[in-house]
């Protein structure tokens, strides 16, 4: 049986000495500047039509950083599938085109897609019959997305136009290419979330910009409180960041302060922790007062000048506390400093007879004031009804108190001058 030569076999032919310039793949004629593109092969093995190669509109990004709206007709040198991107060079044409599109998008970012919207969607107030542009809704239908998404790109371009980064919509015609801003500034104008337009979103956006981060990041966190909770519960560093932010917020939000204090008061573990930290803070404050003001308060409540030895000891302990790392436990250090200083205060009082006498006098008078306030709180407004609350123990205690007061009065009278 005679073998049949396959249809794809090519019979060698004499090569022309010099092919016409308009038939050389990848070269243009001086007159037209257009390129002749070598037909490819269809999936069935035959030649493809010109429409299959160049006719359909595409969404790729052109080499100058903007998106190409139509691959039909003439191609630039960078888009020629028969030039440097031929299979002979080991790079598939579609792969090369994807790489160029990717590089262009990296350079231009969302501006490439915003340009498509800006030059194809008619501005508000412009009649439909006076322009080939379409409405945002019509553009969205053609693109297969929501009108809201189209408008977010539209608004981003509008803001950039107000800042002079890009031309206004009215100066752009469908298919027009322009130099686009750098991709790094895109996120300063574009928000992928509709919540950014609300009062809450505006506040979050402003706070994010003040912190030097993209507003979209902050808006995403705000819209996903469950995700924020999970991150705080799982990650100590996230919890620390949240704690610092919450403290900053508490200083400016009295209502939140009240709610937070109420939550602490209702939680036994937090109450104990707050009490412990308050005690440590008070003791550190006592030591710091000695170092900074040179004075100390005695157990009886009088304020005296701190001796040099006492100030030196207080300063030593305070320096150790100040050198602790943030978050390190201070309770034990505070207790050591407080106990050491209190011992020196007691020694100072014992070593000075005049100071010791004044301390006793201050302590007695302080106790007398407390007793007076307590007794004044007893009320006898309803004397007629005392029989209803009477108990033998009440009378006994008052009688003992009366005897103690009488003894004290007698002693003070004997000590009075002239007695």
Placement of tokens 């990004």 in the chain: 61
Render the burial of 294-306: b for 16+ CB within 10 Å, e for the rest: eebebebebebeb
Q: pLDDT tens for residues 371-392?
A: 888 887 776 665 567 777 788 8
**Whole-prediction pTM:** 0.42
pLDDT at 379: 64
Query: Within its chain, how far is the Cα of 185 from the centroid?
Result: 19
Nearest to 249 by CA among 235, 260, 233: 260
Please say whether the beta carbons of 61 and 71 come within 8 A.
no
Beta bridge partners of 304: 296
pLDDT at 89: 65
Q: What is the greatest pairwise CA distance in the chain?
A: 154
Which pLDDT band holds residue 235 (cuts at 50, 70, 90)? very high
Give 61's DSSP letter.
B
pLDDT at 59: 41
Angle at which helices 268-293 and 254-265 cross, to 10°:
120
Please say whether the beta carbons of 407 and 399 come within 8 A.
no
Q: Count other Cβ atoms within 10 Å, centred on residue 100.
A: 17
pLDDT of residue 159 exceeding 90: no
Mean pLDDT for 303-324 is 89
Average pLDDT, the chain: 74
Mean pLDDT for 267-288 is 91
Which pLDDT band holds residue 120 (cuts at 50, 70, 90)? very high
Beta strands in 231-329 (DSSP E): 295-297, 303-305
pLDDT at 403: 92
- Kindly give the residue spans of alpha helices, DSSP state H, lying in 294-419: 308-322, 331-350, 353-376, 392-415
């Amino acid at each position: 049986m005679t073998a049949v030569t396959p249809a794809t076999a090519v019979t060698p032919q004499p090569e022309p000495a010099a092919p016409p310039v308009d038939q050389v793949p990848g070269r243009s004629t001086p007159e037209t500047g257009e390129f002749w593109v070598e037909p490819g092969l269809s999936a069935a093995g035959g030649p493809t039509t010109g429409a299959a190669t160049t006719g359909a509109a595409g969404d790729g990004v052109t080499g100058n950083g903007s998106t190409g709206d139509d691959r039909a007709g003439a191609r630039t040198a960078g888009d020629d599938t028969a030039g440097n991107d031929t299979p002979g060079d080991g790079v598939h044409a579609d792969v090369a085109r994807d790489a160029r599109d990717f590089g262009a998008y990296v350079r231009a970012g969302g501006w490439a897609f915003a340009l498509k919207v800006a030059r194809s969607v008619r501005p508000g107030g412009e009649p439909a019959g006076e322009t080939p542009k379409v409405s945002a809704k019509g553009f969205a239908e053609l693109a297969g997305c929501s009108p809201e998404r189209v408008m977010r790109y539209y608004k981003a371009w509008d803001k950039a136009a107000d800042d002079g980064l890009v031309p206004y919509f009215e100066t752009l015609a469908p298919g027009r290419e322009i130099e686009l801003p750098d991709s790094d500034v895109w996120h300063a104008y574009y928000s992928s979330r509709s919540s950014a337009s609300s009062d809450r979103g505006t506040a979050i956006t402003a706070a994010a910009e003040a912190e030097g981060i993209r507003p979209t990041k902050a808006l995403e966190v705000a819209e996903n409180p469950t995700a924020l909770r999970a991150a705080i519960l799982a990650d100590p560093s996230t919890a620390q960041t949240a704690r610092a932010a919450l403290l900053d917020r508490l200083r400016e939000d009295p209502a939140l302060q009240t709610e937070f204090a109420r939550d602490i008061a209702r939680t036994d573990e937090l109450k104990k922790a707050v009490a412990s930290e308050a005690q440590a803070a008070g003791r550190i404050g006592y030591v710091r007062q000695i170092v900074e003001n040179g004075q100390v308060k005695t157990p009886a409540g009088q304020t005296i000048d701190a001796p040099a030895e006492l100030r030196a000891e207080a300063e030593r302990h305070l320096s150790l506390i100040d050198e602790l790392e943030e978050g390190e436990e201070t309770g034990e250090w505070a207790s050591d400093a407080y106990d050491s200083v209190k011992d020196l205060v007691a020694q100072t009082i014992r070593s000075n007879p005049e100071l010791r006498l004044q301390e006793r006098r201050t302590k007695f008078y302080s106790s007398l004031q407390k007793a007076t306030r307590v007794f004044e709180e007893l009320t006898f407004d309803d004397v007629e009804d005392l029989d209803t609350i009477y108990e033998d123990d009440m009378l006994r205690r008052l009688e003992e108190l009366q005897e103690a007061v009488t003894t004290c009065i007698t002693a003070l009278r004997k000590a009075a001058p002239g007695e």
